[in-house]
Amino acid sequence: MSIKRMEARLQAKEEKLKEKTDRVTDPGITFEQTGIDYLVVDELHDFKNLSTPSNIQDAAIDPGSGRATDLHMKVEYLRAKHGDRVMTGATATPIANSVTEMYVMQRYLGPELLERAGIHDFDTWAATFGQVVTEMELSVAGGTASS
């Protein structure tokens, strides 16, 4: 990722954060005040769009969804307070569009494994566990298409 791209991304994130913090809202009970110490998340695939920068073509998830960011922040808060085992996730479709989604699942469910392996970003994860393969397959019309 180029410095110019990182600066633009940082600027956009700062503006988005400023918009959110400038709004006056009644916080009600905060997540921290609930005393929750463990999450069981069904349909974890609904949280697969966690912002994930990448230099690999078509692999980045940018900007990511607010829903995924919210879950990630809560899980990281629980990990900081209670240790590694703070979440169980369930889904029948962990990968729908991109292998990046598998990396996101691992960030939610086993980030300590990534850390122990020295993996701090998607590109390193992909280089360690992935392989780009181009294959011919049949198209719906009966012809061939590369994938």
Query: Which pLDDT value is given to residue 135?
Result: 78
Q: Is 85 among the domain residues?
A: yes
Q: CB burial class (10 A; 0-12, 13-18, 19+) of residue 125? A: buried
Instruction: Tell me if 55 is assigned to some domain.
Output: yes
Q: Is 7 contained in some domain? A: no
43 pLDDT tier (thresholds 50, 70, 90)? very high
Residue 11 domain-assigned (yes or no): no
Q: d(Cα 34, Cα 27) in Å, to the nearest integer?
A: 13
- Its domain, for residue 35, covers 30-128
The pLDDT tens digits of the residues spanning 78-136 come to: 999 999 999 999 999 988 889 999 999 999 999 999 999 999 999 999 999 998 777 77
Spatial separation of the C-alpha atoms in residues 127 and 61, rounded to whole Å: 17
Structural contact between residues 50 and 61, judged by C-beta atoms closer than 8 angstroms: yes
- Judge whether 53 lies within some domain: yes
Note whether residue 84 is domain-resident.
yes
Question: Residue 41 in 3-state DSSP?
Answer: strand
87: part of which helix (H) or strand (E)?
strand 87-90
Percent of the chain scoring above 90 in pLDDT: 57
- pLDDT at residue 7, rounded to an integer: 87
Q: How many distinct helices (H) and strands (E) make up the chain?
A: 6, 4
> Is residue 100 in some structural domain?
yes
State yes or no: pLDDT of 147 exceeds 70: no
The two structure tokens encoding residue 56 = 């690999």
78 versus 17: which is more confidently predicted?
Answer: 78
Number of domains in the chain: 1
This prediction's pTM: 0.78
Instruction: Report yes or no on 18 lying in a domain.
Output: no
Position 62 confidence tier, pLDDT thresholds 50, 70, 90: confident
The more confidently predicted of residues 4 and 41 is 41
Q: At 95, which amino acid appears?
A: I
